Homo-oligomer: A and B are copies of this chain.
């Protein structure tokens, strides 16, 4: 089984900006995670929150790339409607080139009303902008000839986009999905899948199985390393420590979901088919070593081979315990072969 990181960090206005601020600690955390054997780090993109979430994700990943040697660098996710696709293709290719092909580009359409409003982009245009940008991104990386484009949102004339990316035909694309319709679309595009962040274990297994079925129905071999399942991680001392951490997690998640509030009263956070409390209590990797191993065992048994863990508060110490006491139990002989084929 393969393990990566999924997460973010914060530096807000008014924070001390000496060398130990949130972004710097995040880099140190990732550098140590690489040494522990973690395979990847997927980083969010958000804007205008007021608490300093990572906004320039690729810039931070470029830094992280220079500090690491094997860690794959993921975005989770770059919101295409907010970026000029050519500038984005150039930035992504530059990182991919400098890292010798370690970029995993997670992309999405965006879901927070306040971010679209902030950028002055109607949220109703998200789908159309995503499609046009995705087409331009792929063309930027793969076209060896000069090309022009006249579209609804962008016009480009006689361009060849440089530098080239290291991975061919282009860095792997990852998309988040949860509903059957969105899982179908990821399968049809032949992209990799970022699955959930919070859901009951059985729901995650069901979505994974559905996606595998859809890929195979399209006549393609299914590789389990093309699905990263994201889960919160908290290595607890005991049951009381675990329960307190879970309640903090529920409260924190509710605050994050509030950022996806629309003025019309609707909320566009992705987790609306489950009760938040139930999904967290059943789904997260919060517990003692044995409890966490038992949950991962259920996922492993269902065929899941790639997990992305988000720090739920036990920090680098929790990650060390996880790497030392849990990861070795899930070493599969077939890991190396399948894993290589997935890139």
Contacts and interface: CB of A to CB of B under 8 A. Distances in A.
Interface of A: 11-13, 15, 17-19, 21, 23-24, 27, 47-50, 52-56, 58-60, 62-67, 82-84, 86-87, 90-91, 93-95, 97-98, 100, 114, 117-120, 144, 146, 154-164, 166
A50 B13 CA distance: 41
6 contacts: A17-B100, A18-B100, A50-B160, A60-B94, A63-B95, A118-B159
Contact of A48 (B21, B49, B155, B158): B158
A91 B83 CA distance: 13
Q: How many copies does the complex hold?
A: 2
A64 B155 CA distance: 32
Contact of A87 (B52, B65, B83, B160): B83
Contacts of A164: 11-13, 15, 17, 52
Contacts of A59: 58-59, 62, 90-91, 94-95
A19 B155 CA distance: 34
B97 A158 contact: no
A92 to B, nearest CB: 8
A53 B17 contact: no
A162 B94 contact: no
B117 A158 contact: yes
